[in-house]
């Protein structure tokens, strides 16, 4: 098999259709919660970029986007534990209704770090939308307000999520085989 479609061997956890249906449901919930208001979707690069693109088009309330980038994971499947801001917000969020959009809420270190950072800017409100939630891995006391799917402790790729920067463009969410070799 060529390296470009090796992911076809990885089991599908959520299909494109399941992701689209769940994203639409979250969009309707956000529309109801923020009726008559404006929201700023703050995507966490790079993993949440695709979820943010689909979620933003599932909501009809007035909305703007911004992105931040943090690093916490190395090349492989293990976290280094430390979170570092690599790209800050471009737009002021003071007095705004913020929804932080994440691909996965795992240990919670990233979202805790971001929540503390954003709260210093005094937004009007701050909520979190996470496509996936791995509650069993949590180290920090943080929950998402909107969750796509709760999953057990498996490493996943696709729909924005990478392994060593690959597989972000895979359209469904797939389970990474635990014995997959480290790539360089
Ligand atoms: P945290 O542990 O800080 O909650 O999660 C940090 C980030 O690690 C997540 O937002 C996500 O980008 C990445 N991450 C956590 N679990 C996985 C996973 O199963 N697959 C991939 N590709 N990234 C993950
Ligand atoms: Mg992420
Ligand atoms: Mg990653």
Report the alpha-carbon distance of residue 142 to residue 178 in Å, rounded. Answer: 27
- Whether 159 is in the pocket of ligand 1, judged by its Cβ within 6 Å, is no
Report the alpha-carbon distance of residue 133 to residue 146 in Å, rounded. Answer: 10
- Residue 102 Cα: closest atom of ligand 1: 10
Q: Assess whether pLDDT exceeds 80 at residue 73.
A: no
Of 96-100, 163-167, 170-174, 177-181, minimum mean pLDDT range:
177-181
pTM, to two decimals: 0.93
| CATH ID of 15-175, from 3.40.50.150, 2.70.98.50, 3.40.50.2020, 3.40.50.720 | 3.40.50.2020
Report the alpha-carbon distance of residue 28 to residue 96 in Å, rounded. Answer: 20
Place of tokens 């210093």: 120
Residues 6+ away with beta carbon under 8 Å from 6: none
pLDDT confidence bin for 183, thresholds 50/70/90: low
Distance 36 CA to ligand 1 centre (A): 33
| Strand spans (E) along the chain | 12-14, 38-45, 62-73, 79-87, 97-105, 125-133, 146-150, 156-157, 173-175
Q: Which among 38, 34, 14 is positioned nearest to 146, based on CA atoms?
A: 34
- Whether 105 is in the pocket of ligand 1, judged by its Cβ within 6 Å, is yes
ipTM: 0.96
| pLDDT digits 0-9 by tens, 77-107 | 666 678 999 999 999 999 999 999 999 999 9
Q: What angle do CA 70, 74, 80 make, to 5 degrees?
A: 80
Angstrom CA distances, 92 to 87, 89, 118, 164, stand at 14, 7, 10, 32
162 is catalytic: no
> Percent of the chain, pLDDT > 70?
92
């Amino acid at each position: 098999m060529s390296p470009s479609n090796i992911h076809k061997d990885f089991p599908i956890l959520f299909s494109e259709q399941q992701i689209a249906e769940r994203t639409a449901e979250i969009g309707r919930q956000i529309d109801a919660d923020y009726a008559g208001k404006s929201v700023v979707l703050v995507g966490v690069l790079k993993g949440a970029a695709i979820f943010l693109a689909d979620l933003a088009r599932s909501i009809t309330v007035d909305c703007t986007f911004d992105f931040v980038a943090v690093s916490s994971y190395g090349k492989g499947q293990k976290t280094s534990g430390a979170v570092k801001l690599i790209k800050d917000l471009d737009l002021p969020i003071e007095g705004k209704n913020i929804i932080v959009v994440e691909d996965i809420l795992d240990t919670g270190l990233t979202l805790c770090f971001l929540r503390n950072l954003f709260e210093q800017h005094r937004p009007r409100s701050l909520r979190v939308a996470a496509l996936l939630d791995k509650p069993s891995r949590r180290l920090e006391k943080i929950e998402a307000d909107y969750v796509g799917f709760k999953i057990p402790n498996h490493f996943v790729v696709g729909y924005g999520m990478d392994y060593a920067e690959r597989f972000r463009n895979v359209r469904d969410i797939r389970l990474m085989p635990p014995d997959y070799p480290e790539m360089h």
